C-alpha cells in the first residue's frame, strides 16, 4: 500500500511566499508519489483572536490558492477540517492522554500566549493535540512541515506511542518530511522568519507584480559582497532565487558574489522577476477558481466525504480500543 501523507495549513489570511515554499509547493510534488490528504485547518485558526465573518471567505481563498498552485483534487484529497467532525472527537480522546507539561513547553504556545491580549484560552494550549488528531486519524506515515512545526510533530509521535502502548497498536508513528525551503526569512529583518504577523516581512500570494518588485527592492541586505559567507538578507534572496528562478541565474549570481562583483540591485531585479513570473499565473488561476464558488464548494464537500470515510474507520478502532463499546448509529 502506498504511504500516506497528511498536511494542513491555517486559513489566517495573507498566505505568503514562506507558506507557499514551506508547505503548498511541496504538496504539489508529494501528491504524485503518495496517497495524500491536504487540509485547510480552520479549527486551528480559532485558537487565537480571529474574525468570524471573514472565516468562510478565507477558507475558500486558501483552498483556491492550494489548487491554483497545482494540488489536484482528483489526485489528493483536499478538504476543510471542520467538515470532518471526527477530528475533534479524536482530539478529546487524545487530550486525555496528553500531559499539560508537554503542551506548556511548546515554543509556539509560549510565543502566541504572549501576544493574546484578550486572555489565553485552553484551545491555544491544546492546539498540538488537534494537530496530532489530524495526522493520526488518517494513520499518516509522512507529514511535510516547515521546521517551526517539528516540535508539534514530536509531540504527535509521543502521543501516538502512548496511545499504542496504553491501548492497542492503532497508529503508525508519523515521520516529518522537512521541506527544502524550510525557513524563508523576513524581508525587512532577515534574522527572523517571514511571518504574516510582521508587517513588511512578507510577499503575499495576492500581491500584484509591482508590489512584488517593490518589496524585493526594499529587502534588507548588507553594504556589499564580501566574497565570504553571505549575510542573512543576501542569503535569503538567494534562497528565493533558488526556489523561484532558474539554476543558471543562481550559478551566475553566486559566482559574481564570490568575485565581489555582484550588484545587489541586479540580484534584486532577478529575484523580483523570478517571483513575479511564478506567482502571476497562480494568482490568475486562483481568481478563476474563486469565480466559481459552487464548483469549489463541491470539490471541498467531496474531499470532506472521502476524508471522513477514512477518519470514521480509525475513530471506530480508537473508541473500541479505549473501551467504548456502544454501537454508533
Would you please indicate which residues are annotated as catalytic (active-site) residues?
112, 193, 196
Interaction between residue 249 and ligand AMP (CB under 6 A): no
From candidates 4, 5, 6, 10, binder to ligand AMP by CB under 6 A = 10
Residue-wise DSSP of 246-275: -HHHHHHHHHHHHTT---HHHHHHHHHHHH
**Distance spanning both ends of the chain, measured CA to CA:** 30
Find out whether 68 and 283 touch, Cβ atoms under 8 Å: yes
User: Residue 89 interacts with ligand AMP (CB under 6 A)?
Assistant: no
Under the binding rule (CB under 6 A), the answer on residue 83 touching ligand AMP is no
Contacted by 87, from ligand AMP, ligand TRP, none: CB < 5 to 8 Å by type = none
Q: Is 36 in the site for ligand AMP (CB under 6 A)?
A: no
The answer to the question of residue 26 lying near ligand AMP (CB under 6 A) is no
**With contact defined as beta carbons under 8 Å apart, do 34 and 5 qualify?**
yes
> Could you say which of 7, 31, 47, 179 contacts ligand TRP (CB under 6 A)?
7
Q: Which of 59, 94, 103, 145 binds ligand TRP (CB under 6 A)?
A: 145
Q: Collapsing DSSP states into helix, strand and coil, what is residue 204?
A: strand
By CB under 6 A, is residue 35 in contact with ligand TRP? Answer: no
Phi, psi of 16 (to 5 degrees): -115, 175
* Spatial distance between the Cα atoms of 52 and 300, rounded to a whole number of angstroms: 20
Give the pairing type, strands 35-40 and 4-9.
parallel
- Is 87 one of the binding residues for ligand TRP (CB under 6 A)? no
Q: Are 3 and 34 in contact (CB under 8 A)?
A: yes
Residue 86 binding ligand TRP, by CB under 6 A: no
Residue 195 CB, nearest distance to ligand TRP (Å)?
Answer: 11
Please tell me the count of residues contacting ligand AMP according to CB under 6 A. 18
Q: Out of 103, 140, 143, 145, which residue is the one contacting ligand AMP (CB under 6 A)?
A: 145
- Beta bridge partners, 259, equal none
Cell triple for residue 145? 512541515
Site for ligand AMP in 153-212 (CB under 6 A): 181-184, 193-194
Residues contacting residue 302 through CB under 8 Å, at least 6 positions apart: 73
CA distance readout (Å), 146 to 9, 18, 24, 45: 11, 9, 11, 17
Residue closer to ligand TRP (CB basis): 21 or 135 = 135
Given 19, 98, 236, 286, the residue binding ligand AMP (CB under 6 A): 19
> Nearer to ligand AMP by C-beta: 145 or 271?
145
Number of residues near ligand TRP (by CB under 6 A) = 14
Helices and strands (H, E) in the chain, number of each type = 13, 5
155 DSSP assignment: H
Please give the residue ranges that form the binding site for ligand TRP (CB under 6 A).
6-10, 41, 44, 131, 134-135, 143, 145, 149, 152
Interface positions with ligand AMP (CB under 6 A): 9-10, 12, 18-19, 21-23, 145-146, 148-149, 181-184, 193-194
Amino acid at each position: 500500500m502506498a504511504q500516506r501523507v497528511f498536511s494542513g495549513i491555517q486559513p489566517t489570511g495573507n498566505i505568503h511566499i514562506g507558506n507557499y515554499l514551506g508547505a503548498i509547493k511541496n504538496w504539489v510534488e508529494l501528491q504524485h508519489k503518495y496517497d495524500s490528504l491536504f487540509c485547510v485547518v480552520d479549527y486551528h485558526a480559532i485558537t487565537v483572536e480571529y474574525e468570524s465573518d471573514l472565516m468562510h471567505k478565507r477558507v475558500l481563498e486558501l483552498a483556491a490558492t492550494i489548487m491554483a498552485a497545482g494540488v489536484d483534487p482528483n489526485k489528493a484529497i483536499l478538504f476543510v477540517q471542520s467538515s470532518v467532525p471526527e477530528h475533534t472527537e479524536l482530539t478529546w480522546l487524545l487530550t486525555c492522554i496528553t500531559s499539560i507539561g508537554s503542551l506548556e513547553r511548546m515554543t509556539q504556545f509560549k510565543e502566541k500566549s504572549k501576544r493574546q491580549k484578550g486572555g489565553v484560552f485552553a484551545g491555544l494550549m491544546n492546539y498540538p493535540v488537534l494537530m496530532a488528531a489530524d495526522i493520526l486519524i488518517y494513520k499518516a506515515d509522512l507529514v511535510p512541515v516547515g521546521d517551526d512545526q517539528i516540535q508539534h510533530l514530536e509531540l504527535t509521535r509521543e502521543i501516538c506511542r502512548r496511545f499504542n502502548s496504553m491501548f492497542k497498536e492503532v497508529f503508525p508513528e508519523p515521520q516529518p518530511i522537512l521541506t527544502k525551503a524550510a525557513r524563508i526569512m523576513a524581508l525587512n529583518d532577515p534574522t527572523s522568519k517571514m511571518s504574516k504577523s510582521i508587517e513588511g516581512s512578507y510577499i503575499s500570494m495576492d500581491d500584484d507584480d509591482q508590489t512584488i518588485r517593490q518589496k524585493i527592492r526594499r529587502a534588507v541586505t548588507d553594504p556589499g559582497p564580501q566574497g565570504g559567507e553571505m549575510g542573512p538578507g543576501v542569503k535569503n534572496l538567494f534562497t528565493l532565487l533558488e526556489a523561484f528562478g532558474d539554476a543558471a541565474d543562481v550559478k551566475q549570481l553566486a559566482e559574481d558574489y564570490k568575485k565581489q562583483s555582484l550588484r545587489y540591485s541586479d540580484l534584486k531585479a532577478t529575484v523580483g522577476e523570478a517571483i513575479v513570473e511564478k506567482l502571476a499565473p497562480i494568482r490568475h488561476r486562483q481568481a478563476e477558481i474563486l469565480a466559481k464558488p459552487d464548483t469549489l464548494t463541491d470539490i471541498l464537500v467531496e474531499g470532506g466525504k472521502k476524508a471522513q470515510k477514512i477518519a470514521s474507520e480509525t475513530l471506530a478502532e480508537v473508541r473500541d480500543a479505549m473501551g467504548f463499546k456502544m454501537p454508533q448509529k
